[in-house]
Structure 1
């Protein structure tokens, strides 16, 4: 909350010093880190299409801003100011964007209405809509008016398209989710981490990513009972030193923190805990099995697509309802959700012991990614056809 409040105090001063009247600006807005990852493929393409424009990125959440405030894809990264009518006008006076791209589901009425009033070209990408949103529950134009700001909606699924159609918006295309393009591209990157190779030392490896306390309670039970030759890497969602130390004390297996790895014989340890950020995607490339956190409790499932692109089986907690990609991957048996520690132990042991089952499950995950890439290409084609003239002018 402190970051949320303090960070916004600098927004307008940053805009005054970094954005000038003669600058041509394309503005991307996203809620947090997950939406940023969805925006990355399109941002890269926009930089190619409009090399003379400045790229502004705004975040609502500190968890996105603090990690990506120095992103090389953007000329400036800021917090979005609070959505008041006064702030919306002042913000757009400073930014004066020629094109605005919102990612997924950030709908701020004052800002959108001001974009519409100024006739600033605005697009939504990877959009997701649900019946319980006020646009569809309330038969009131006040709730729907902000959507008029969008020249075009690129949505993730047919359901979102039909919901928009039902309230009179037909400027919609089902493009899918740009996150598939983002994670598929990871296969072309250098994912080598020598310390992980030393730690694994040829053994089977489980990577548990973005874990919360509830996830770690499940994992602890498996670790305590585990008699199999398997290495385990845990990357908690938040780096809480006390929680990590408590977890280490509760397990019998020898464990080591990433921050303490230097000078140690890493192959001597069974558990490694990654007490830093920014390495998880590369670490997934070494996994034989992935556990993705957030779905045991109510915090929200983290990104299952990152491990899926490497063709590995995925295990999560049971709370998947708000995550359609997880529901779909579960339906085709590339993902298994567990309701208890007992179920987690069972599926881990089956995947470890049965290599044919493990590889088959992993291939399903990989194919799921491959069948869903292409959203960026559709969005890029639209931008080329409709906005490339900005650069020519």
Structure 2
């Protein structure tokens, strides 16, 4: 391990350490053998995919409160969320994908099934489950047409890995079409995206936030979520030109000093006044409210009239699902093709308003902001929330699958 330190970055090194140590945290001081004796549900979520697993965990625990749930991850980034999930009985690192490691894991935990969120199917583990008769399901699965997993040698590995599964639940018919290229014999169905369930659950059970900062309805509010410097170089100059008719909630993706200091300097250079969420007791005259705390963005979208989602001028847009579920039309930059919802709703209008709009530069950003300030149609938010509600309840299909196989 010491020899790897100069080569591996922080997350990669921690991942190796966790796997080598067979890291697992068991809640309530239960011995692992007690959990294993009850044949737990096993859910695997690589990293951020835990957001797709959360509503499934909740539904399973509601229906089967006496059956333990264990969760494995690939990236240590998932740890922060897993520590907070009260319905998870034990969680830890997925073992190395070698036959001995996989068999040892299955013998230790004796899971009654394996539920994999989104994409992270490891071939040897999938095969080990297949050989031991452990049912396995890949849910909320999505496969882009340009995915490297469906090309060349990777396609062969993907075909073998997915062929070991019992069933696959895809997000859309397009995903099924992409999988058809592999010629799988495994049953494949369209059952939607479980993260919609999580987003709506979050809206129905909001975190406590500083509502004393909530702006009045005197001016429309733009909520800019998960922004990077590349986004801010376009967003801030455009906003500066409409600031007298609009206010902005600005939630940077990174709130470390290396990002915040240049951000504040840029705001001052553009003549934009601001206050910080962590320190302010009210938000009155300032143009911008900077969110310098993490974990409250979903609630803050409910303060807005329209949104911009960051990452879309950098490399990959962050999820547009939360602002859409809050009823907001969304602006994105050119790098949004990684996000299915951004692509799906970019082609859709409600009451004459595009749900997702792409802009490519400062001028286009200003034009779109001006349109939203001046011509936001009445009833749009209600129509959008009603539209998105049709995508709910995917988690129930996963629970029904468990019932069918158990």
- TM-score normalised to the size of structure 1? 0.88
Partner of 2:50: 36
Tell me by how many angstroms 1:204 deviates: 2.1
Equivalent position of 2:216 in the other structure:
201
Distance in 2, matches of 1:324 and 1:318, equals 14
Q: 1:197–1:218: structure 2 CA closer, same or farther, 3 Å change rule? A: farther
* Residue 22 of structure 2 corresponds to residue 12 of structure 1: yes
Partner of 1:391: none
The count of aligned residue pairs is: 380
CA separation of 1:246/1:349 partners in 2, compared to 1, >3 Å: closer, same or farther? same
Q: Structure 1 pair 171/15, CA: closer, same or farther in 2 (3 Å)?
A: same
Deviations 1:18-73 (A, max 9, x none): 5224242211111222x212112211111123222221112222332233333223
Instruction: Report what 1:281 is aligned to.
Output: 298
Aligned to 1:22: 37
| Residues 335 and 361 in structure 1, CA contact (< 8 A), matched pair in contact too | no
Matched, 1:164 2:179: yes
Structure 1 contact 205–289 (Cα < 8 Å) conserved: yes
Residues 38/13 of structure 1: CA separation in 2 closer, same or farther (3 Å cut): closer
In the TM superposition, residue 100 of structure 1 has moved relative to its aligned partner by: 0.9
**324, 329, 336: which is aligned to 1:320?**
336
Matches for 1:349-388 after TM superposition, within 5 Å: 349-356=370-377, 359=378, 362-363=381-382, 365-387=384-406
- Equivalent residue, structure 2, for 1:105: 119
Q: 1:112 to 1:271 in 2, by over 3 A?
A: same
Match of 1:152 in 2: 167
How is 1:250-265 mapped onto 2 (pairs within 5 angstroms)?
Answer: 250-251=266-267, 252-261=271-280, 264-265=281-282
Deviation at 1:265, TM superposition (A): 3.9
Q: Mapping of 1:282-297 within 5 angstroms?
A: 282-297=299-314
2:155, 2:244 → 1: CA distance? 60
| In structure 2, distance between residues paired with 1:273 and 1:84 | 47
Q: Which runs of 5+ in 1 are unaligned?
A: 388-393
> Alpha-carbon deviations, 1:134-157, whole Å to 9, x = none?
456459865522223311111111
Residues 1:232 and 1:322: Cα distance change in structure 2 (over 3 Å): same
Change (3 A) 1:139 1:278: closer
CA deviation after TM superposition for structure 1 residue 363, in Å:
4.7
Kindly state the Cα deviation for residue 94 of structure 1 after the two structures are TM-superposed. 2.5
Query: Per-residue deviation at 1:329?
Result: 0.4
Deviation of 1:211 (Å): 1.1
Return closer, same or farther for 1:70/1:348 CA change in 2, 3 Å cut-off.
same
- What does the per-residue CA deviation read over 1:372-392, in whole Å, with 9 as the maximum and x for residues that have no partner? 2232232332222332xxxxx
The separation in 1 between residues aligned to 2:149 and 2:343, in whole angstroms, is: 24
Q: Is the 8 A contact 1:196 1:283 kept in 2?
A: no
| Secondary structure in 2 matching 1:228 | helix
State the shift of 1:287 in Å. 0.9
The CA distance in 2 between the partners of 1:336 and 1:371, in whole Å, is 21
Q: Which secondary structure does the structure 2 equivalent of 1:74 belong to?
A: coil
Matches of 1:330 and 1:239 in 2, distance apart? Answer: 29
Query: TM-score, normalization: structure 2?
Result: 0.85
- Range that drifts further, 73-82 or 362-371: 362-371
Return closer, same or farther for 1:294/1:347 CA change in 2, 3 Å cut-off. same
Uncovered stretches (5+) of structure 2, i.e. residues with no partner: 1-8, 349-353
Q: Structure 2 CA distance, aligned partners of 1:226 and 1:295? A: 21
2:59 pairs with 45, 51, 57, which one? 45
CA shift at 1:13, angstroms?
A: 4.8
Aligned to 2:287: 270
Query: How many angstroms apart in 1 are the aligned matches of 2:222 and 2:387?
Result: 21
Mean CA deviation greater in 73-82 or 347-356: 73-82
Q: Is the 8 A contact 1:156 1:174 kept in 2?
A: yes
Q: Structure 1's 360 and 222: CA in aligned 2 closer, same or farther, altered over 3 A?
A: farther
CA distance in 1, matches of 2:73, 2:86: 15
Which position in structure 2 is the counterpart of 1:218?
234
| CA RMSD, 1 decimal | 2.5
Indicate if the aligned counterparts of 1:12 and 1:91 stay in contact, CA closer than 8 A: no
